[in-house]
A and B are shown apart, each in its own frame.
Chain A
Amino acid sequence: MNKERREFIRKTGLGVLAGICASSAFMPAFSLEETVLPAWDEKPVPGKIRWGMLIDTRKCLNECSECVAKCHFVHNVPDFGNRKDEVKWIWKSSYEHVFPTSTQQFRTSDVLQRSFLALCNHCAEAPCTRACPTEATFRRWDGIVSMDYHRCIGCRFCMAACPYGSRSFNWRDPREGIKLASVDYPTREQGVVEKCNFCSDRLVRGLIPACAESCPQKALTFGDLNDPKSDIRVLLESNNTMQRKPELGTKPSVFYII
């Protein structure tokens, strides 16, 4: 009796399991809502596009920080008013801080007084993505070095690996440091790393990065480095430009006209 009952339960269980498996296989066909997968129709080709930015530092005004304010507002970057907890995606600094390995003697006073923008370089050979143990930071098909805030374990290896100091950690709950919240981009959680995402959230909506858009001087040019006809490539070919710490072989996608 007992043995038969056990056998009965076993067979019924297997039957239910098989039923669930079979029906789940047919599920999309019976879905209540029609599933449209346009994202899968056009598969992105890795390496076809490489987004880049050119900063004409001659046009950049010292007293202006529109790009910083716009970026930090759009992306809900917190401000705690202290250096230790600081989170920043784009900021202004002096020449010897942004280009510490290319400080030749007797620079013009203009260059020494000018301020220079620093942001994530979206390196083609990014040391941060190599160091990340969970692939929470990774290089996308379009060259953007992106972050998965839900996978990041907060080990801060990427911060040690980045030779440009472009990464910030949420030492505390970032929502406490947001005065005016934006609805364009989600806030992050305490305990994860974040940085500039080259406005990948805006690119999908057909917008250029917030910093480039907000610049009153049009000093920032954003475009595809792999397209020889793009504005950025035309400017790169007609101007003498610099990358930050090129000797490290990281191949930054952000260029500067000095």
Chain B
Amino acid sequence: MIEKALKGNRNYWAWIASLLAVIAVGITAYNRQHWFGLTVTGMGRDVSWGFYIAQFTFLVGVAASAVMVVIPYYLHNRKEFSKTVIIGEFMAVAATLMCLLFILADMGRPDRVLNVLLYPSPHSMVFWDVMVLNGYFVINLVSGWTVLGAERRGVPPPSWVKPVIYLSIPWAVSIHTVTAFLYAGLPGRHLWLTAVLAPRFLASAFAAGTSLLILVTLVIKQCTGFDTGKEAREKLAVIVTYAGIVNFFMIGTEFFTAFYSHVPSHMHSLQYLFFGLEGHYTLVPFMWFSLLLGLGSLVVLLLPGRKSSPKWLAAACTGLVVSIWIDKGVGLILGGFVPSPLEEIVDYQPTLTEIGVTLGIWAIGLLVLTLLLKVAVSVKSQE
């Protein structure tokens, strides 16, 4: 079936070539990091996680959002999602792969990564995260590929694949819950030490991840003429709207708890992110941009008729993706480290090397996604 990814027009190969070029840049940057150590990044003793972990957190959400097409199609038998479901599953595969690569890129000793399996430590949330992420990767690849293979041969999918698909539903919730627990269980990091973090992660995942899915279906329609259906896209846009509202509601509750209780340590990180603290304002414009862009996108989706216009839909979805990428990726991770446990403020800025590695990993993810979707579209349109 993979041979279908080897046939394509000029634009297809140009896109593949440009992705390979970005991957080459990423590998060069990573080589530098591997040789000189993580000192080549913007991270340091005080802000000890940065861009990589931010991307990882955001992409776990993208991966989890596949469940928003799996549930209506397989549990509720909504036929309008029949063409979108495979795109959601393959997007989850690519996103999970990127998550794993970002963790690897962030590690000081990636050569020892198998120690996580050699000395399994159930008391550590990282152990569980590695388990669920790898599991989710396999589940989506196997179920997506098998169903697609059966469709190509014109036979019904094998019966064993149904339970695997059903398993992917709670599993999607688990990957994002465990990812939230990575942060939410640490004493002394007040921005993260909140029970609402896991629910908020799920809400932002279903808003941003599903938005990205809508965008991918629009791009496929533009490039290949293969349309997953307007009806499916509009239903997904409804999910995006509700999830987005819940997400911003929960951000609001964080503000209330911190500022009404007026406990300094609970306010500090939010003050640093949104208002600036002791003369440090680096992230303030980004956070307000994120907040206003997100709310603006939701308004567009709520206005009557805007959802059915592909242009407005694409604009609103892009807005939400960018907004949540800033808020949940960059803002959440950096805000957890500022102020430091000794209440000192250190600003973080990613370096060119760090951005190079990040772009390289995104390009790897996009390459895998492109190849998988090429196969899916070829099978679906019976080329």
Contact = CB atoms under 8 A, between A and B. Distances in A.
Q: Do A and B come from one complex?
A: yes
A96 B343 contact: yes
B278 interface: no
B: contact size bracket: 35 or more
B300 to A, nearest CB: 37
Contact of A153 (B49, B116, B343): B116
Interface stretch (B186-194, B207-215, B252-260, B322-330): B186-194
B120 to A, nearest CB: 9
A193 B36 CA distance: 16
Interface in A141-170: 151-157, 159-165, 168-170
Interface in B72-93: none
B119 interface: yes
Contacts, number: 144
Contacts of B38: 154, 169, 171-172, 191
B341 A162 contact: yes
A223 interface: no
Interface string B112-131: 11011011010111110010
A118 B342 contact: yes
Contacts of A231: none
B44 A250 contact: no
B3 interface: no
B115 A160 contact: no
B37 interface: yes
Interface string B303-345: 0000000000000000000000000000000001100111110
Contact of A163 (B182, B185, B188): B188
Instruction: Tell me which of B112, B341, B346 has the highest count of chain A C-beta atoms within 10 A of its own C-beta.
Output: B341
* Dominant secondary structure of chain A at its interface with chain B: loop
Interface stretch (A37-45, A59-67, A131-139, A199-207): A131-139
A245 B265 CA distance: 12
B109 interface: yes
B354 interface: no
Given A85-B44, A133-B124, A153-B116, A165 B341 contact: yes
Nearest to A97: B342
Interface residues of A, number: 49
Contacts of B46: 83, 165
Given A151-B115, A173-B37, A245 B44 contact: no
A115 B187 CA distance: 25
B45 interface: yes
B11 interface: no
A17 interface: no
A157 B375 CA distance: 39
B16 interface: no
A135 B185 CA distance: 18
Interface in A51-107: 83-87, 93, 96-98, 100-101
Contact of B127 (A98, A133, A165): A133
Contacts of B170: none
Nearest to A150: B112
A162 B342 CA distance: 11
Contacts of B124: 130-133, 157
A119 interface: no
Nearest to B124: A133
Contact of A135 (B113, B119, B346): B119
Nearest to B188: A163
Contacts of B379: none
Contact of B342 (A85, A100, A152): A100
Contacts of A250: 187
Given A97-B343, A131-B186, A192-B108, 13 more contacts: A130-B124, A131-B124, A132-B121, A133-B127, A136-B115, A153-B110, A153-B116, A160-B183, A160-B189, A170-B37, A171-B44, A191-B38, A191-B107
> 10 closest pairs, A vs B, by CB?
A154-B108, A163-B188, A191-B108, A84-B44, A133-B126, A171-B39, A172-B39, A165-B341, A133-B124, A172-B37
6 contacts: A98-B342, A101-B265, A131-B186, A155-B108, A164-B341, A165-B341
